[in-house]
Amino acid sequence: MKVQIPRGTQDILPGQAKIWQWLEEKMREVTNKYHFEEIRTPIFEHTEIFARGVGDTTDIVQKEMYSFQDRSGRDLTLRPEGTAAVVRSFVENKMYGDPNQPVKLFYIGPMFRYERPQSGRYRQFVQFGVEALGSQDPAIDAEVISLAMNIYREAGLKNVHLVINSLGDKESRAKHREALINHFRPRIGEFCEDCQNRLEKNPLRILDCKVDREHELMKTAPSILEYFNDESKVYFDKVCQYLTDLGIEYTIDSTLVRGLDYYNATTFEIMSSAPGFGAITTLCGGGRYNGLVEEFGGPETPGIGFALSIERLIAALEAEQVQPDIHNGLDFYVVALGERAKDYSVKLLSELRNNGFSADRDYTGRKMKAQLKSADRLHAKFVVIIGEDELDGGIVQLKNMETGEQKEIKLATFIEEIKQFAV
């Protein structure tokens, strides 16, 4: 039997996992500063959650979801994104009744989409995302965008830039929708089948088409900015002003619509301009989804959020040759020589670990020279050498691996003495 990983997935090996842990710690630190709290939702939900929440005209729902029936015939789907599941939980657990509003949440977890695997994109991937529910203040839009930008800054990326747009309010979108239909209808036969199907259902999604992006009608399509009413214009101007106040540079792109039906008003993407990063430059995307809570049976509740792929973030770090500040070494490596010393090392390792140190030893019966090489490969700061003579004398040999200095320490006071310098 040939055992092989499924296409579009990856193993995160021990050395790589440290980078993931480092990034996740950075994300938690940033979200804590902004007072966002973690939420964890199931990996699978009822299919309707995503069909209604994400939108039945999206590529995700039409082509990319991993859906199945359980033994009772219920339609379930591995989550392809995080917002719909979070909003479902928000409504089901009546978080709209929390006296502290808006409710500010973040999540980290695997998502699943059946799409063509490519650089930095997988069929199982991990998203970090935030959702702020319960505020219509443009300042929360700027805060959410600022949080995303700060994550990339804390990770060490330099070549990132923000692209922003607004899809306006319901009245503005209705006028823009009519203009788009009139613009594309005469030549819709020149577009792909997906675009033809979207013309009447959701013409805005035509602007997000990857197949017909170079069509001349795409370049002359009416801009949403031309159809803003006063309220939409004032709101978007406020968001932009707050971003300027925060020192966040941005570009306005009126064709930015994002790929999910629930977006309205503010939309944004953060992109990488690092040389060699690849053709797909988007690192993060998000926006407002006012109306989604009501779609799930909750009260009128505005919301805004974003999601980013950790795989894409790691690819951007590699493109910019950013080296995460990760400590990979051990504090102590115990070299035990002889059966009595090996027996004693079990207790010694436990004492080291219980006092806050990382420690390990050989478990394969290697000679002293081989054990020292192992300590070096593991980047141990100190080696503790203990043999029959040391046990009889109540001492251990402690070697500083950086300086090569070696000294004797009494076993009775070993832990107390190393606490003075082994930090």
Residue 49 CA to residue 124 CA, distance in Å, equals 19
Q: State which amino acid sits at residue 74.
A: R
Q: Is the pLDDT of residue 224 over 90?
A: no
What average pLDDT does this structure show over 122-133? 95
Choice between 170 and 25, residue whose per-residue pLDDT is larger:
25
Residue 319 CA to residue 292 CA, distance in Å, equals 36
Query: By C-alpha distance, which of 276, 277, 258 is closest to 267?
Result: 258
State residue 419's pLDDT score.
83
Helix axes 138-155, 310-319, angle to 10 degrees: 50
Least confident of 256-260, 289-293, 361-365: 256-260
Backbone angles phi and psi of 203, in degrees to 5:
-60, -25
Residue 298 CA to residue 315 CA, distance in Å, equals 38
Q: How confident is the model at residue 423 (pLDDT cuts 50, 70, 90)?
A: low
State residue 56's pLDDT score.
63
The size of the chain, in residues, is 423
Residue 48 CA to residue 54 CA, distance in Å, equals 10
Output the average pLDDT for the chain.
90
State residue 324's pLDDT score.
87
Q: State which amino acid sits at residue 55.
A: G
Least confident of 11-20, 220-229, 288-297: 220-229
User: What would the pLDDT profile of 49-96 be if each residue is shown by its tens digit?
Assistant: 988 777 666 667 777 888 999 999 999 999 999 999 999 999 999 999
What percentage of the chain exceeds 90 in pLDDT? 64
Residue 188 CA to residue 157 CA, distance in Å, equals 41
State residue 167's pLDDT score.
86
State CA 10 to chain mean position distance.
Answer: 16
User: What would the pLDDT profile of 338-377 be if each residue is shown by its tens digit?
Assistant: 999 999 999 999 999 999 999 999 999 899 999 999 999 9
Choice between 64 and 251, residue whose per-residue pLDDT is larger:
251
**Positive or negative, the Cα torsion across 354, 357, 358, 363?**
negative
State residue 258's pLDDT score.
66
pTM of the predicted model as reported, rounded to 2 decimal places: 0.86
Q: How confident is the model at residue 104 (pLDDT cuts 50, 70, 90)?
A: very high
Least confident of 100-109, 142-151, 247-256: 247-256
What average pLDDT does this structure show over 144-149? 97
Contact call for residues 288 and 165 (beta carbons, < 8 A): no
State residue 279's pLDDT score.
66
